[in-house]
Amino acid sequence: MRKTTTKLADGRELIYFDRDETVFRDEPDRRPLEPVANLSEVRLDPVSGDWVTVAAHRQGRIYHPPTDQCPLCPSTEAHLSEIPAPDYDVAVFENRFPSLATDAAPELALTAGGTAAAPAALHLARPGTGRCEVVCFTADHAASFADLDESKARLVLDAWTDRTAALGRLPGVEQVFCFENRGAEIGVTLAHPHGQIYAFPFTTPRTTKMIASANDHRARTGRNLFEDLLAGELADPLRVVLAGEHWTAFVPFAARWPYEVHLFPNRRVGSLPELAEEERAEFPRLYLELLRRFDRLFGEGLAPTPYIAAWHQAPRRGGAELALHLELFTIRRTVGKLKYLAGVESGMDAFVNDVSPEAAAHRLREVAT
């Protein structure tokens, strides 16, 4: 792999990851860009204890552009994009409209500006310091991750790993989150195959709950929660979808989404940089097969299955019991029907699944090639 780091016209970082180690990247960004003010801040919800990001400047971001104006395609003479090169393997760049940024709201120090009616402790805020990056999986606008070959999927894994390590070293960053949203039904506003990486200045609520459960399990049993979960699924593989020498994919016992698969390395590690070479080598084959099965779930002739693929990694502090894993799920529950979150789910975070996890696992095994 060859990694080349350069700058876009407004000073944002752009990084190329190429399989050809002899490739040379020197294409300048010819757009007349002005820097965008990053007004991000994070505010503490005193009721839940969760940090909420407020990023009002994102209202002006690009929304469903025509294909010939896609900002993630390679640049041409007729259209200058975020990628100055005429072609690329994998490209990563700082989001122009980020939720979090290293220069976020510099005038906002940690505040506790209360009033008699609203005490200071109820109004805690600080700059939304962090970083948001866009990961372009391929130059082919019409492709998807499932269309990649194994060497390109491995390159994406290498890019995720590189960025996890680099972003995790930034001052103030507590957790790095790599993910992909695919499909307009999910809320994707750019059709080009891509994912994102968030470097958070806090540990996310979902991760905080996972850590609490894992710590409680350790206190009660003396064992690791995630190792026990994986061992239990392998001992009774009713919900196992796909198994390799180094990775196992299964539908969780209490899946929240109609079709939801968790992909674990068989050896517990906390983050992508901790994976061994043999684990990296096997991942592309299994992950691509999972994605292709998702696209076969509902038969031919439908639009590609919308999904979210989310890497869960240990935060900088307090995550010793957490296990790296990828969660893949779709909001499509059957042909022509999406799962919209109902009031109990959106309002109370109490999920109701319309598909039994065992039936989902059976169907995902059934659509194997």
165: Cα within 13 Å, side-chain hemisphere: 9
CATH architecture of the domain with residue range 206-366: 2-Layer Sandwich (3.30)
Instruction: Report the candidate in 9, 136, 141 with the shortest Cα–Cα distance to residue 80.
Output: 9
Secondary structure of residue 217 in the 3-state scheme: helix
Choosing from 194, 262, 312, 325, the catalytic residue is: 194
Any long-range contacts for 227-233 (C-beta under 8 Å, 24+ apart)?
Answer: 227/268, 227/323, 230/264, 230/266
Helix, strand, coil percent content, the chain, rounded in steps of 5: 30, 25, 50
**296 alpha-carbon distance from chain centroid:** 22
DSSP-assigned beta bridge partners for residue 93: 14, 134
Tokens coding 45: 């919800």
Residue ranges for the known binding site for Zn(2+) are 70, 73, 141, 192
Start-to-end C-alpha separation, the chain:
30
Q: Please, where are the H alpha helices in the chain?
A: 150-168, 205-221, 225-235, 277-296, 343-348, 357-366
Predicted pLDDT at 28: 97
Tokens coding 173: 């960053």
- Chain segment 326-357, per-residue pLDDT in tens: 999 999 999 989 999 999 999 999 999 999 99
H/E segment holding residue 310: strand 307-312
Q: CA separation (Å) from 269 to 95, 101, 227, 278? A: 29, 28, 10, 14
Q: Is 150 exposed, middle or buried (0-12, 13-18, 19+ CB in 10 A)?
A: middle
How far apart are the C-alpha atoms of 33 and 338, rounded to whole Å?
39
Instruction: Report the candidate in 325, 334, 342, 324 with the shortest Cα–Cα distance to residue 360.
Output: 334
Q: Strand 131-136 relative to strand 90-94: parallel, antiparallel, unpaired?
A: antiparallel
Predicted pLDDT at 291: 98
Tokens coding 310: 């989310």
User: From first to last of its 369 residues, what are the pLDDT tens digits of the chain?
Assistant: 999 999 999 999 999 999 999 999 999 999 999 888 888 999 999 999 999 999 988 887 888 899 999 999 999 999 999 999 999 999 999 999 999 999 886 666 555 554 445 566 799 999 999 999 999 999 999 999 999 999 999 999 999 999 999 999 999 999 999 999 999 999 999 999 999 999 999 999 999 999 999 999 999 999 999 999 999 999 999 999 999 999 999 999 999 999 999 999 999 999 999 999 999 999 999 999 999 999 999 987 677 899 999 999 999 999 999 999 999 999 999 998 999 999 999 999 999 999 999 999 999 999 997
pTM of the model: 0.95
- The dihedral of CA 192, 274, 171, 166: what is its sign? negative
Residue 359: which residues within 8 A CB-CB, separation 6 or more? none
| Boundaries of every domain in the chain | 2-202, 206-366
Secondary structure of residue 237 in the 3-state scheme: helix
* 262 carries an active-site annotation: no
Instruction: Report the candidate in 87, 303, 95, 267 with the shortest Cα–Cα distance to residue 182.
Output: 303
Q: Strand 131-136 relative to strand 325-330: parallel, antiparallel, unpaired?
A: unpaired
2-202: in CATH 3.30.428.10? yes
